[in-house]
Chains A and B, each alone.
Chain A
Amino acid sequence: IAGITQAPTSQILAAGRRMTLRCTQDMRHNAMYWYRQDLGLGLRLIHYSNTAGTTGKGEVPDGYSVSRANTDDFPLTLASAVPSQTSVYFCASSGTGTDTQYFGPGTRLTVL
Chain B
Amino acid sequence: GQNIDQPTEMTATEGAIVQINCTYQTSGFNGLFWYQQHAGEAPTFLSYNVLDGLEEKGRFSSFLSRSKGYSYLLLKELQMKDSASYLCAVIDSNYQLIWGAGTKLIIKP
Contact B31 A98, beta carbon cutoff 8 Å: yes
Q: How far is the CA of A106 from the CA of B44 in the complex (A)?
A: 12
User: Complex Cα distance A97/B94, Å?
Assistant: 10
Q: How far is the CA of A40 from the CA of B41 in the complex (A)?
A: 16
Query: Which chain A residues numbered 26 to 46 have a C-beta less than 8 Å away from chain B?
Result: 40-45
Interface size in chain B (residues, C-beta < 8 A) = 20
Which of A40, A43, A58, A105 sits near B87, CB closer than 8 Å?
A43
Which range contains the number of A residues in contact with the other chain?
A: 10 to 19
Complex alpha-carbon distance, A90 and B60, angstroms: 25
Given contacts A90-B42, A106-B42, contact A101 B48 (CB under 8 A): no
Q: Among A40, A98, A106, find the residue whose CB has the most chain B CB atoms closer than 10 A.
A: A98
Interface centre among B30, B44, B91, B97 (most CB of A within 10 A): B97
- From B10-18, B66-74, B75-83, B98-106, the one touching the partner chain is B98-106
Query: Least Cβ distance of A66 to chain B in Å?
Result: 16
Closest chain A residue to B102 by CB distance? Answer: A42
Which one of A40, A45, A90, A104 contacts B97 once the chains associate, using CB atoms below 8 Å?
A: A45
A interface residues, Cβ below 8 angstroms from B: 40-45, 58, 90, 97-98, 100-106
